[in-house]
Amino acid sequence: MESGPGRESLDRELVERVQRGDSSAFDVLVRKYQHRVVGLIGRYVHDWSECQDVAQEVFMRAYRALGNFRGDAQFSTWLHRIAVNTAKNHLVAQNRRPPTDDIDVMDAEQFDHSYRLRDTDTPEHELLRQEIESTVMAAVNRLPEELREAITLREVEGLSYDEIAERMGCPIGTVRSRIFRAREAIDAQLKPLLDPERDAGARERQR
């Protein structure tokens, strides 16, 4: 990820486009920051499925609040605060105690940069990313129709559980169950790809 004034000016331009009604500019911001947001939330919320839900909520809140963003802070700092607050609120709503110390924005920056330098700027990581994407798509396509529809409405269209229940004509508890089962099926297919021993073996073979 680019750093310094270049990144800040690009973020400013994207934010201004969103404020003028260009929703595609927000998609660019999501793609740019989604890994950092998920990584940050993962330091509060340790369950992968929950982490994905909280990250989605972060971007929904950011989108709704972006009209009031005036650039007093960098966009990345502003988004960081929303992510931390959303993660902590999620823990409180689940009757779980959030950590007393927040993750500092500079710490998140360093974590994000080191993660990218270590992993994402390699051909091996790009191949793994493509393999993960194809595995997810294949797993989704193999799901029973009601599970596939539920997970698609949630992850692709970004609907709330209430909206999905209304769309599918079923109780919200059924929606939660279907999404949980869909994620379990997808996770089962992803585990072999995300196994640390697999990564260690791959690095060993490269030596």
CATH code of the domain covering residue 33:
1.10.1740.10
Find the mean pLDDT for residues 155-169: 82
Quick check: pTM over 0.75?
no
* CATH code assigned at 176: 1.10.10.10
Distance CA 175, CA 42 (A): 24
Range of the domain at 14: 5-120
Q: DSSP assignment of 55-115, as one string?
A: HHHHHHHHHHHGGG--SSS-HHHHHHHHHHHHHHHHHHHTT-PPPSSPPPHHHHHHHHHHH
Specify whether 113 is located in the same domain as 131.
no
Whether the per-residue pLDDT at 84 is higher than 80: the answer is yes
> 100 vs 189, which has greater pLDDT?
189
Whether the per-residue pLDDT at 115 is higher than 60: the answer is no
Specify whether 107 is located in the same domain as 144.
no
Specify whether 103 is located in the same domain as 133.
no
- pLDDT for 78 equals 92
Question: Do 176 and 165 touch, CB atoms closer than 8 A?
Answer: no
Distance CA 40, CA 160 (A): 22
- pLDDT for 126 equals 63
> How many domains does the chain fold into?
2
